[in-house]
Structure 1
Amino acid sequence: MAAAVHPRHPQLAVSGAIVRDDKVLLVRRARSPGKGFYSLPGGRVEFGESLHTALHREVDEETGLRIEIVGLAGWREVLPTTGGGGHYLIMSFAARWAAGEVVLNDEHDDFRWLSPEGLGDLKLTGGLQDVIAAARRLIQS
């Protein structure tokens, strides 16, 4: 199997902290980057696409859900590692569930609706708890 080739520049991505009945949707990555870790649905922004359009598209592709975006809940930068991996700037948004039931695509192998206090011992991507806390504040205000 050939090693993954990563672009020589940062990639812009979006993610959504989707809240339904005071619980947030977490999805577990089925492949790299982040294989085995729970995170928020999302992905790369395509050329010419707004951040909101990208988030709606990614959430629909990955989960089949419709959402209402509330606002920016934070961002994080993922730098390349010595073992490989790309360079990403991820803009994370707070969103309310609007319609649909979760139907995962092949990028994920599990999902959970959890209260922010119920994340327990799950393997989470870096900075996830801060984004969820910020999203919760935005949605409750």
Structure 2
Amino acid sequence: MCMIQHEDKILLMNRPDKLGFPGFIAPGGKVDFPESIVDGAIREVREETGLVVRDIVFKGLDEFCDPADGLRYMVFNYLATSFEGSLLDHPPEGELLWVKIKEAMELPMQDWFKRRLPLFFQEGTFEYSFIWNSQTNETIKETKKQYGVDIQELTLGL
């Protein structure tokens, strides 16, 4: 996943229900073998938005594990503060909108994305891990770590 920031705005896409994970979200997707994680993030941004991101910075890792299914889903999160190109006229994943950072949390979005959104704009990196039961949709264990962040900053949010 790659959050794209331009001044006081971020680029979000409004995913329709038919594509899964409906609501506002940052661009991202799966990594194609054998590309690197960062190359996959840059490619996904280009495919979904038309933009080529520059000055990309790793912000953190978010992982979800379901022991019953043997599933581990990892999301590598990046922030890009410069880019080239123009937005696609007909983006494949949903409508693209530049949104003020301070207003983004008011938009409809998945809970996991809402939890992660402020972390893109804080100093340091994060590592979140959730073990859950997909059949009951219950979190069994969660681990949340933030590195290089002043504890006062965490209480400020966006």
> In 2 relative to 1, CA 129–73 (structure 1 residues): closer, same or farther, beyond 3 Å?
farther
Offset at 1:134?
2.8
Structure 1 CA distance for aligned equivalents of residues 35 and 112 of structure 2 = 25
Picking from 73, 77, 81, the partner of 1:96 is 81
* Residue 140 of structure 2: aligned partner: none
* Residue 11 of structure 2: aligned partner: 25
Letter in 2 for 1:96: T
Letter in 1 for 2:4: I
TM-score, normalised to structure 2's length? Answer: 0.63
> In 2 relative to 1, CA 46–133 (structure 1 residues): closer, same or farther, beyond 3 Å?
same
Structure 1 CA distance for aligned equivalents of residues 122 and 106 of structure 2 = 23
Picking from 112, 119, 126, the partner of 1:134 is 119
Offset at 1:26?
0.7
Q: Which structure exhibits the higher relative contact order, with contacts defined as CA atoms closer than 8 Å and separated by 6 or more residues? A: 1
Q: List alignment gaps of at least 5 residues for structure 1.
A: 1-14, 81-85
Across the aligned residues of Structure 1 and Structure 2, the Cα RMSD in angstroms comes to 2.5
Which has the higher Rg, Structure 1 or Structure 2? 2
Q: Does 1:45 align with 2:20?
A: no
Structure 1 CA distance for aligned equivalents of residues 52 and 84 of structure 2 = 5
TM-score, normalised to structure 1's length? Answer: 0.70
Contact (CA 8 Å) 2:49, 2:96: kept in 1 or not? Answer: no
Structure 2 CA distance for aligned equivalents of residues 54 and 91 of structure 1 = 10
Q: List alignment gaps of at least 5 residues for structure 2.
A: 125-158
* Runs of at least 4 residues off by over 4 Å: none
Offset at 1:58?
0.5
Contact (CA 8 Å) 1:92, 1:131: kept in 2 or not? Answer: no
Higher strand content, 1 or 2: 2
> In 2 relative to 1, CA 122–60 (structure 1 residues): closer, same or farther, beyond 3 Å?
same
Letter in 2 for 1:114: V
- Offset from partner CA, 1:80-100 (integer Å, 9 cap, x none): 7xxxxx863211111123112
Alignment identity in percent? 25
